Amino acid sequence: MHTLAVTDGRVLRPDGRVTTDDVLIDADAGTIEAIGPDLEGDEVLDASGGLVMPGLVNAHTHVSMTLLRGYADDKPLDAWLREDIWPVEEELTDDDIEAGAELGVLEMIRSGTTAFADMYFAMDRVADVVERAGVRARLGRGIVTVGKDHEEARADLEDGVEFATTYDGAADGRIHTAVMPHSLTTVEESILEEAADLAAAHDLPVHLHANETESEVDPIVSERGIRPIEYADDRGVLGPSSFLAHGVHLDDSEIARLAERGTAVVHCPASNMKLASGIAPVQRLREAGVTVGIGTDGAASNNDLDLFDEMRDAAMVGKLAAADASAVPAPAVVEMATSGGAEAIGVPGGRIEAGAAADLIVVDLESPHLTPAHDLVSHLAYAVRGSDVRHTVCDGSVLMRDREVTTLDADAVMERAGSVAADLVARAE
């Protein structure tokens, strides 16, 4: 057994306590072997002056959209998608998508994310990046049928299901998949139903955007006389492994239904603020027993993939929405960005305990903006930045040591992404 000892730091335990301990990792199994004083390993990762915590889980993103960071800002969702994003996405090549995924994964490793859920195109290329970079992911090809005839719509569905069934378990089990219809208004009813049936037949989750804006809720209510979550349930979309992104405009009956079905919600506070979509009822969802994770959404509506930023946004906007400063407190956002996110997207990780997946990060605490350190959980929610992450470990492998990413060539990734992004935008104009 090859072991890795993360030494001389403090450790964030699943119950929120912070202890002074070492963490011993079985690097072959990719699991945490022990937590305690004076542990020795074949290899050492120095955590002195730092906090060892679970790797963050970005529970909803479109990682290749890093290529479109800053391309179209300051518009609401519908106009942003239809006028800017979808036209430029028409020009994307598979190589572009791979280059954007490399950039996004690089950014996530450098800001402490070890697992993510991703919906996009050319997902075989995204899977290849996940495999090489050493992270964990739940991936799915986005299925959209709007503007397509039934044959094209079926082809989209077939592509999505083929990707999901081929790649589930790839990269030594680090890749998980899902069937991912884009949303309740961009996928026709029969395809949505088939997507849900096929997901169930293959024992795969369904992931989709839902209740993101009022203009997505209103047509369902006016055409069908029911709320979107009831419509989704009737199509078979909800279930204990399903997870939906955004969930901004949810009424009490919808929250109760999500809780009953065990369907998780991924809160994307920055994207929801930037596109002025609204504020998700995170406090009410959690009180109802719904599992909530946190996602950045794509970098074009955020505009970064830093989960620490997202935790801060979630806490701040949660208080504003509830008009209650005690709503969405620091321990809740840390839980949502770690174990909550892992549970929402159905991947291992999110906990520093013996037997858990060795997905962890070391956050450097010796900085002016983290001094004094009265409460480290408070710091994680409100003060730590992605750039404070010193080491990133996933599945027992060191992906970043002393801020040097070991699995990707950072300079080459940035150069390639910058070049393909410029060509992409030129083609679109």
> What residues line the site for ligand LTUXU72L (CB under 6 A)?
62, 77, 81, 85, 89, 119-121, 142, 144, 182, 209, 212, 271, 297-298, 301
- Looking at residue 55, what DSSP letter applies? P
Burial class (CB in 10 A: 0-12, 13-18, 19+), 301: buried
Contact track, Zn ion, 243-282, x by CB under 5 A: ----------------------------------------
Among 93-101, 253-261, 296-304, 402-410, the segment contacting Zn ion (CB under 5 A) = 296-304
- Looking at residue 85, what DSSP letter applies? I
77's contact among ligand LTUXU72L, Zn ion, none, with CB below 5 to 8 A by partner kind, is: ligand LTUXU72L
Dig out the tokens for 169 from the structure: 């378990």
Nearer to Zn ion by C-beta: 216 or 297?
297
The string of DSSP codes covering 33-83 is EEEESS---SEEEE-TTEEEEEPEEEEEE-GGGGGGTTTS-S--HHHIIII
Type of residue at 267: H
Nearer to ligand LTUXU72L by C-beta: 92 or 389?
92
Instruction: For residue 358, give every residue at least 6 positions away whose Cβ sits within 8 Å of its Cβ, in sequence order, or none.
Output: 4, 25, 26, 27, 30, 31, 32, 393, 394, 395, 396
100's contact among Zn ion, ligand LTUXU72L, none, with CB below 5 to 8 A by partner kind, is: none
Instruction: Evaluate whether 45 touches 362 at the Cβ level (below 8 Å).
Output: yes
Binding site for substrate, by residue number, is 89, 141, 182, 212, 297
Taking CB atoms, the residue at the shortest distance from ligand LTUXU72L is 142
Q: Does 118 bind Zn ion (CB under 5 A)?
A: no
Cα angle for residues 183, 311, 410 (degrees, 5° grid) = 85
212's contact among ligand LTUXU72L, Zn ion, none, with CB below 5 to 8 A by partner kind, is: ligand LTUXU72L
Instruction: Evaluate whether 289 touches 259 at the Cβ level (below 8 Å).
Output: yes
Binding site for Zn(2+), by residue number, is 60, 62, 209, 297
CA torsion angle 75 78 81 87 (round to 10): -110
* Least separation in angstroms between CB 71 and Zn ion: 16
Instruction: Evaluate whether 68 touches 29 at the Cβ level (below 8 Å).
Output: no
Among 143-151, 291-299, 308-316, 418-426, the segment contacting Zn ion (CB under 5 A) = 291-299
* Least separation in angstroms between CB 298 and ligand LTUXU72L: 5
Among 13-21, 22-30, 220-228, 290-298, the segment contacting Zn ion (CB under 5 A) = 290-298
Strand, helix or coil at 302?
coil
Nearer to ligand LTUXU72L by C-beta: 181 or 348?
181
* Least separation in angstroms between CB 258 and Zn ion: 18
> Within 13 Å, how many C-alpha atoms sit on residue 9's CB side?
27
Instruction: Evaluate whether 195 touches 207 at the Cβ level (below 8 Å).
Output: no
User: 391, 311, 399, 403: which is closest to 130 by C-alpha?
Assistant: 399
Other beta carbons less than 10 A from residue 352's beta carbon: 24
Nearer to ligand LTUXU72L by C-beta: 121 or 382?
121
Type of residue at 38: D
User: 246, 260, 334, 253: which is closest to 295 by C-alpha?
Assistant: 246
Nearer to ligand LTUXU72L by C-beta: 381 or 421?
421
Q: Does 297 bind Zn ion (CB under 5 A)?
A: yes
* Least separation in angstroms between CB 60 and Zn ion: 6
* Least separation in angstroms between CB 272 and ligand LTUXU72L: 8
Instruction: Evaluate whether 74 touches 388 at the Cβ level (below 8 Å).
Output: no
Nearer to ligand LTUXU72L by C-beta: 122 or 393?
122
Q: Does 89 bind Zn ion (CB under 5 A)?
A: no
Taking CB atoms, the residue at the shortest distance from Zn ion is 297
382's contact among ligand LTUXU72L, Zn ion, none, with CB below 5 to 8 A by partner kind, is: none
Quote the distance between the C-alpha of residue 211 and its chain's center. 18
Q: Cα(377)–Cα(50) distance, rounded to whole angstroms?
A: 13
Q: Does 21 bind Zn ion (CB under 5 A)?
A: no
Nearer to ligand LTUXU72L by C-beta: 254 or 359?
254
301's contact among Zn ion, ligand LTUXU72L, none, with CB below 5 to 8 A by partner kind, is: ligand LTUXU72L
Nearer to ligand LTUXU72L by C-beta: 155 or 256?
155
Core vs surface per residue 173-187: b (16+ CB within 10 A) or e: ebbbbbbbbbbbbbb
Dig out the tokens for 118 from the structure: 């991703």
Contact residues for Zn ion (CB under 5 A)? 297
